Amino acid sequence: MEKWKKLVYISWLALFLHMTGMAMIMPFLPLYIKELGVTNPKEVTAWSGIIFGIAFLFSGILSPFWGSLGDKYGRKPIILRSSFGLSLVAIGMHLASNIYHLLILRIIHGVLGGIVPSFIALVSSNLPKDKTGTGLGTLQTAMIGGSILGPLIGGILSDLIGYRNVLLVIALLPFLGGIITTLFINEQKQEIKKTHFSVLNNIKFVVSSKYLIIIIIIQFTIQFSLMMVQPLLPLFIESLHVKTNIGTFVGATFATTGIFTMIFAPFFGKEGDKKGHRKILSRSLLFTSIFFFPQSLVTSIYQLLPLRAAIGTFVAGIVPSTQSLIVKNTPDSKRGGILGITQSFSLFGNAIGPIIGGSLAAIFGIRLSFIITSIILFFTWNLSKKLTIKPAIPSPPTEQ
């Protein structure tokens, strides 16, 4: 097996375990908030958005810092810090006794982030140029697939062993991912670029490229719109007259999206290498927008599932396309730092989306969130058309 393929597969497994573990809390997070003493339905909805989004907010703030450190001292240490640290955070969530304990732990969760851009930087640095979309598309199945298949496991386990015990299982998975990274990923010395570029200079690099700025805006709006709905799905499914095994049904809904994402992400990655990643990105955004709107009209779980499958199919073409466009416009010596900055805006979208979505849902109802998501994605599709200019890597700022 070629060296780059081996690295992709091992990284896939480690990242999949990490993302699966961190996503397992999603189907029962609002219900766990109730267990911690928040009983008013509107307060539960609002707290669900805050608790879910706060980790992404802090992760977004610190992601450029972790990315720059990875460029200087190696991406593997950043990955290990995140894997083992988040395992300890999950144990802390298991021991939480009130909503404020959970809030503090979610903040720590965000502070310890940075694993995704580190894996992307590590893997992309070892990919042949004509395999960028293929490699990152495969890695994307671990990120989105784990993020959405995780709730299936979490939902089923929450019905079987209770919310707190699931958190112990959650702690185990990133720990195993860290062990795999320790044993099987060897970051060679030539892969580590001892660069003197600071976070500020990386920001200047991004600002100097209108192409990267457009991609960053697209990343933010994509995550903002998608995450307006994501943490509200358990409450929405509960409103569809699902009376028993709610956790299992919620997990199945997330899993449906995840399965289709995992199937189609490598396909869209290869298509991007052949036909252009901008074209794949634009089409994926349009169809994702189209399939979000009818979710506001469903009256049963069985109407929702095929629409979530369609969402998974076309979301699979969005993230690998944006990541490939970023990688192709970023020198290897700065890649971790630049990916950290772009990841920040995705994480800010992840943070703000649930808060706005939860607040709007508390006032106007959850169904409105699907409509707003569809509209935002439609405007993002229009923005993607501006990526017709020929990309070019800007010259790095001169060190003084």
* Distant-in-sequence, close-in-space partners of 320: CB < 8 Å, separation ≥ 6: 133, 136, 137, 140, 265, 268, 269, 272, 277
State the pLDDT at residue 395.
Answer: 47
Instruction: Specify if 192 maps to a domain.
Output: no
Token pair belonging to 97: 């006794």
**How far apart, in whole angstroms, are the C-alpha atoms of residue 152 and residue 85?**
24
DSSP 397: P
366 is a domain residue: yes
In a domain, 263, yes or no: yes
Successive 10-residue mean pLDDT values, the chain, 400 residues: 88 94 84 89 82 84 86 89 95 95 94 87 83 81 77 86 94 96 81 56 85 89 86 82 75 81 85 88 94 93 92 87 84 80 84 82 86 93 78 46
393 is a domain residue: no
**Domains held by the chain: number:** 1
DSSP state letters, 21-89: HHHTTGGGHHHHHHHTT---HHHHHHHHHHHHHHHHHHHHHHHHHHHHHHHHH-HHHHHHHHHHHHHHH
Its pTM surpasses 0.85: no
Is 236 inside any structural domain? yes
Does 67 reside within a domain?
A: yes
- The answer to whether position 376 is within a domain reads yes
In this structure, the dihedral spanned by the alpha carbons of residues 61, 66, 68 and 70, taken in order and rounded to 10 degrees, is -160
Cα 366 from Cα 363, distance rounded (Å): 9
Task: Give the CATH number of the domain where residue 228 resides.
Answer: 1.20.1250.20
Q: Is 212 exposed, middle or buried (0-12, 13-18, 19+ CB in 10 A)?
A: buried
CA atoms within 13 A of residue 130's CA, in its CB half-sphere: 1
* pLDDT at site 241: 77
Q: Within a domain: residue 282?
A: yes
Using alpha carbons, list the distances in angstroms from residue 337 to 68, 135, 144, 189, 314: 4, 20, 22, 18, 28
Which tokens belong to 269?
Answer: 């990655």
Structural domain containing residue 158: 3-187+198-388
